């Protein structure tokens, strides 16, 4: 099973632990969790299913902690309390300095902290959650709340529950330990994938903005396309020719569309791959050809000829390209482990290209590849990329004349057989950044009618 599939299974198992449907909305759950740290809520007790009785509540919730108890009434109020202490039927008060009551005002949480911590929660057998002598849900095994704000918790009754003490539902959630990093990253990955799928350029005549990848031979241009493609395929794939060689393995101009899955529809981006840059004159990408690429004259699969730049008579040459054919963002692909030894000739070529792209008003960013080869800390764990002093200090910004905010670290798939969630996040974050730069390009061009 591929790692993506195993994560999917892991996630769905997590989701299906509870067959009851929580009445708390996702947004309300997130708001409560934000108060408690990196946690999630697991529904233990639902009065409409298990019964509005103390016995049903204690059977499901005793010895569980921490918990969030929630009451719902016909007036639309959602209110309740949190305690870190496990419930029991001892008849005793228990001390809890973390306890609080709450209510929702729209999606905002209003908190009423405990003021007499020694009486925070009382353990009563024939009632539901019993917060001091102040708020009781499922009071005396009835579908009602008891409310008496005062010494232990203080709240305006009208604000808390609108003075409607008849309960339509009561739920108790267990607060489950801190999210593992894996789950946090998995959620982030899904969010990035959805953002990319749903992206729409601000100009209606362009459905797939075109991003041109430029970089020295072997820096990882073709690998970047393959890697992004792999994330959406769910396994490592290599559609574009990539590898290590002293001369460019890409000899044609290629425009690659990334698909959402094998049979899926194309995503809203086209990654254009060119010959690699080479230090010597008359080798690698020709700067005159670059103008034709940026303006959208070049057809897909145009065969480069370093000794003869493109002419308007060339086969497939677009004489009057539209906005959708032009390049909307340029991404320089630079090997992090080789920045410090970049040959002078190459640096001069990159500088000439950057000036040309600048003049045409096309936004530019840098994909810093092979970050794991450049820094041992990152090799150990790719998530260290933002902590790495080495990666921060790479002089790529000053050498290419781009600000630090335009430099995006990525790790392409090269020898791996399985996808890695953390690599995926870096790759997809780079695509999101490309979309932002594309939007800047469209914002800057005069409105077309």
DSSP 256: E
Contact 127, 136 (CB under 8 A): yes
Mean predicted confidence (pLDDT) in 427-441: 92
Domains and CATH numbers, the chain: 17-176 (no CATH), 181-444 (3.40.50.300)
pLDDT band, residue 40 (cuts 50/70/90): confident
Residues paired with residue 170 on neighbouring β-strands, in sequence order: 71
Q: In the numeric block, which tokens belong to residue 126? A: 């024939």
- Structure confidence at residue 1 (pLDDT): 37
Sign of CA dihedral 33, 143, 95, 176: negative
Mean predicted confidence (pLDDT) in 151-179: 92
Smallest CA-to-CA distance from 284 within 240, 245, 251, 241 is with 251
375: left (phi over 0), alpha (psi -120 to 50) or beta: beta
Residues paired with residue 229 on neighbouring β-strands, in sequence order: none
- Structure confidence at residue 13 (pLDDT): 34
pLDDT band, residue 9 (cuts 50/70/90): very low
Strand stretches in 321-363, DSSP E? 329-335
Q: Cα-flanking dihedrals φ and ψ of residue 264, to 5°?
A: -75, 170
Tokens 């959708």 belong to residue: 324
Which residue has better confidence, 383 or 180?
Answer: 383
> How distant, in Å, are the alpha carbons of 28, 123, 146, 377 from that of 165?
21, 21, 7, 57
% of the chain exceeding 90 in pLDDT = 44
pLDDT band, residue 415 (cuts 50/70/90): confident
Instruction: Inform me whether the pLDDT recorded for 72 exceeds 50.
Output: yes
Residue pLDDT, tens place only, 83-97: 999 999 999 999 999
Q: How many CB atoms lie within 10 A of CB 260?
A: 14
Give the contacts of 410 (CB within 8 A, at least 6 positions apart).
224, 227, 367, 368, 369, 371, 423, 426, 427, 430
Q: Cα-flanking dihedrals φ and ψ of residue 440, to 5°?
A: -60, -40
Q: In the numeric block, which tokens belong to residue 387? A: 């902590």
Q: How many CB atoms lie within 10 A of CB 188?
A: 16
Residue pLDDT, tens place only, 180-201: 555 556 678 888 999 999 999 9
- Structure confidence at residue 249 (pLDDT): 47
How much of the chain is in helix, strand and coil states, percent to nearest 5? Answer: 35, 20, 40
Give the contacts of 209 (CB within 8 A, at least 6 positions apart).
201, 268, 269, 270, 328, 329, 434, 435, 438, 441
- Structure confidence at residue 377 (pLDDT): 80
pLDDT band, residue 304 (cuts 50/70/90): low
Mean predicted confidence (pLDDT) in 226-248: 71
The predicted model scores a pTM of 0.58
Instruction: Inform me whether the pLDDT recorded for 309 exceeds 70.
Output: no
> How distant, in Å, are the alpha carbons of 7, 189, 211, 354, 394 from that of 214?
34, 27, 10, 10, 19
Which residue has better confidence, 299 or 137?
Answer: 137
How many helices (H) and strands (E) in the chain? 14, 18
Tokens 């200090």 belong to residue: 393
Instruction: Inform me whether the pLDDT recorded for 81 exceeds 50.
Output: yes
């Amino acid at each position: 099973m591929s790692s993506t599939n195993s994560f999917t299974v892991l996630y769905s198992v997590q989701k299906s632990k509870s067959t009851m449907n929580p009445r708390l909305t996702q947004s309300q759950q997130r708001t409560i969790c934000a108060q408690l740290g990196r946690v999630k809520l697991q529904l233990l007790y639902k009065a409409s299913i298990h019964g509005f009785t103390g016995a049903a509540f204690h059977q499901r919730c005793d010895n569980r902690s921490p918990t969030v108890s929630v009451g719902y009434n016909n007036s639309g109020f959602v209110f309740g309390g949190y305690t870190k202490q496990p419930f029991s039927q001892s008849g005793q008060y228990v001390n809890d300095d973390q306890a609080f009551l709450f209510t929702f005002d729209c999606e905002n949480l209003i908190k009423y902290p405990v003021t007499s911590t020694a009486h925070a929660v009382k353990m009563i057998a024939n009632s539901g959650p019993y917060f001091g002598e102040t708020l009781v849900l499922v009071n005396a095994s009835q579908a009602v709340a008891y409310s008496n704000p005062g010494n232990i918790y203080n709240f305006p009754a009208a604000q808390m529950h609108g003075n409607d003490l008849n309960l339509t539902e009561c739920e108790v959630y267990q607060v489950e330990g801190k999210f593992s990093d894996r789950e946090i990253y998995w959620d982030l990955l899904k969010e990035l994938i959805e953002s990319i799928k749903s992206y729409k350029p601000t100009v209606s005549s362009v459905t797939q903005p075109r991003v041109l990848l430029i970089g020295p031979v072997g820096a990882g241009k073709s690998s970047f396309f393959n890697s992004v493609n792999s994330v959406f395929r769910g396994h490592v794939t290599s559609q574009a020719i990539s590898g290590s060689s002293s001369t460019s393995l890409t000899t044609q101009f290629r425009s690659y569309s990334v698909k959402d899955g094998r049979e899926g529809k194309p995503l809203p981006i086209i990654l254009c791959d060119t010959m690699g840059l080479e230090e010597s004159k008359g080798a690698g990408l020709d700067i005159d050809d670059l103008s034709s690429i940026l303006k959208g004259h070049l057809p897909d699969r145009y065969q480069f000829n370093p000794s003869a730049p493109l002419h308007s008579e060339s086969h497939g040459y677009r004489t009057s390209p539209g906005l959708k054919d032009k390049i909307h963002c340029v991404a320089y692909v630079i090997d992090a482990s080789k920045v410090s030894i970049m040959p002078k000739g190459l640096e001069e070529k990159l500088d000439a290209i950057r000036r040309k792209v600048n003049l045409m008003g096309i936004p530019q960013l840098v994909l810093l590849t092979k970050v794991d080869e450049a820094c041992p800390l990152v090799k150990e764990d790719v998530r260290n990329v933002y902590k790495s002093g080495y990666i921060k200090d790479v002089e790529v910004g000053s050498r290419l004349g781009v600000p630090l905010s335009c430099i995006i670290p990525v790790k392409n798939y090269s020898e791996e057989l399985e996808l890695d969630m953390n690599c995926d996040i870096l790759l997809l974050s780079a695509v999101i950044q490309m979309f932002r730069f594309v939007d800047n390009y469209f914002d800057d061009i005069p409105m077309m009618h």
